[in-house]
Structure 1
Amino acid sequence: MKKFTSIKLAIAAACLAASSAQADTILGLYAGAQYWQVEPEGQFGSSDDQQAAFNYDDDAQGSFYVALEHPVPLIPNIKIRQTQLEVAGSQNMSFNFNGTAFDGKVSTEADLSNTDLTLYYEVLDNGLASLDFGVTVKSLDGEIMVMDDDGTSEMQELTGYVPMGYLAAQVGLPLTGLSLYGDVSVLSIGDHSLTDYQAGIAYAFVDNIAVDISAQLGYRSFKLELDDLDGIHSDLEFSGAYAGLEVHF
């Protein structure tokens, strides 16, 4: 009788595990948020020979994303990520921006917040390692403002859609709940170059049939090298450590 009961329990457990695996294979939803401590650096201007470097303030930014994965062939998975990126700085200088001359203590405020739409395919996903590739379209809808103590100011909008190649990988460390991961989106056309990458370590502290929850710790860098995009020339980098949380249903 005990043997028969054990067999029934084993069959039930196997069926439950198979059901969970099938559900995850059919549809997977990921949602995450990251707290990013950004250290901005670099320079910008309205021409190559009129770029200025400011002493930027380090500041905390936020990033949020959702991703939907499915087993339908040829149709890509989708991920949407929104990143807040608002920085400010100042410097004593003589600076000409968009035809306006600034002198003395010159300040800048830049809003380079952006949204990524990524369509990607899984070329490897065996439970221990995964590898994805695809295309990211980064939507920029921001502005750069320059002002001085005399009340003179000049503003330049920076908007557009930038297609970028996308690659992501993750490797699990067996029996630890830990995994190493990273992803990169990159574009290099002529004198324009955009690179957005992150790498980190995740720890799955909840891992069951209903939901997986992981804590993240990593480093992210967003580099913007532009040659006359909407009148902006730049060599800017926003980088720093982040902490995050991801939920997988």
Structure 2
Amino acid sequence: MKKVTLLGLGSIFLLAGSSKAVPLIDFEVSIGAIQQKPGGYVSYKAGSDADKIDVKNDARLGDETKPWAKFKLEHPIPVIPNIKLAYMPMKFDGSGRLKREIRWGDYRYQADADFNLSVKLDRVDTTLYYNLPFIKTASAGKLDVEFGLNVRTIMFDGKLSGTTTGGQRVTESKSITLPIPMGHLAAEIRPINQVSLVGEINYIGYGKNTYHDYIAGLRLNPHGLLRTPLKPFVEVGYRYEKLKIDEQDVKTDLKVKGLYGLVGVRF
């Protein structure tokens, strides 16, 4: 996955670099880092609520800082949607001592024994969206609104190592790939050319599953002060995510939040 991601990012930068040969098409590329502070629980083949593992109190999963890469393409053809792509790795590791007997997968793990838990939630976002041109025109470019569909593909892997009630040390894991379609809404408010406020929300709810996230950020656009054909920017903000799923014997109710920072350029 890492090789594919690096190859894809390389292609994106190459395409963006040649965008001057494609009139009326705008590219935006950004990369940065994001804090990931997890909370909530995860379980696999749980028989009761007692089998849910609290990622902070039981497993003591630590906070992480991971990279975040984004790409955006806009064009003037009304019926064809614009596109945004993003990649964010997410992986937490922790260890603890079970206060109770639990079931994870096909085994029961004994109380008062050490265990290790690893949870991976890498994701790729593919967003197809439209702008609301009359809003941007009416506001003289001060407000831009986007709406569309975001398909978030999550590559989940949960792995637990511990001592079973029979005294055997085992490791059991579960991996699933979930493409999750979500409604998408984003906005940028630019009171002056060099400063803008950005926000974004993705949401879906069906059955026992609820998934949403939002970002709120401040973007600085110094290109009006610099003599360059490129339009660099810096963005800082906050991101919150809630993932409640019940799929293929995996149940989660996780919250991940933290600050982020991005540097990027528009062509």
Helix, strand or coil at the partner of 2:223: strand
Larger Rg: 1
| Equivalent residue for 1:102, pick from 109, 112, 117 | 109
| Equivalent residue for 1:120, pick from 129, 135, 147 | 129
Give, in whole Å, the separation in 2 of the partners of 1:158 and 1:221. 23
| Pair 1:182 & 2:174 matched | no
| Equivalent residue for 2:64, pick from 59, 62, 76 | 59
> Offset of 1:64 from its aligned partner?
0.5
Look up the match of 2:40.
42
Helix, strand or coil at the partner of 1:206: helix
> Offset of 1:57 from its aligned partner?
0.3
TM-score, normalising length from structure 1? Answer: 0.85
Higher percent of residues as strand: 1
Give, in whole Å, the separation in 2 of the partners of 1:65 and 1:26. 20
Q: Deviations over 1:82-132 (max 9, x none)?
A: 111011122221321012122312211111100010000001334211000
Unaligned runs of 5+ in 2: 1-20
Please give the root-mean-square deviation of Cα atoms over the aligned residues, in Å: 2.0
Helix, strand or coil at the partner of 1:73: coil
Give, in whole Å, the separation in 2 of the partners of 1:202 and 1:151. 50
Q: Deviations over 1:117-169 (max 9, x none)?
A: 00000013342110000000111123111112764111011212111000000
Give, in whole Å, the separation in 2 of the partners of 1:239 and 1:98. 28
Give, in whole Å, the separation in 2 of the partners of 1:34 and 1:151. 40
Q: How many pairs were matched up?
A: 226
| Pair 1:32 & 2:30 matched | yes
Query: Partner amino acid for 2:181?
Result: P
Give, in whole Å, the separation in 2 of the partners of 1:24 and 1:134. 24
Give, in whole Å, the separation in 2 of the partners of 1:62 and 1:171. 26
Give, in whole Å, the separation in 1 of the partners of 2:90 and 2:259. 14
Q: Deviations over 1:58-83 (max 9, x none)?
A: 11111101110001011000011011
Give, in whole Å, the separation in 1 of the partners of 2:73 and 2:147. 15
Query: Partner amino acid for 1:130?
Result: D
> Offset of 1:25 from its aligned partner?
7.7
| Contact 1:171–1:181 (CA under 8 A) maintained in structure 2 | yes
Runs of 4+ in 1 over 3 A off after TM superposition: none
| Equivalent residue for 1:218, pick from 233, 237, 245 | 237
Percent identity of the aligned residues? Answer: 25
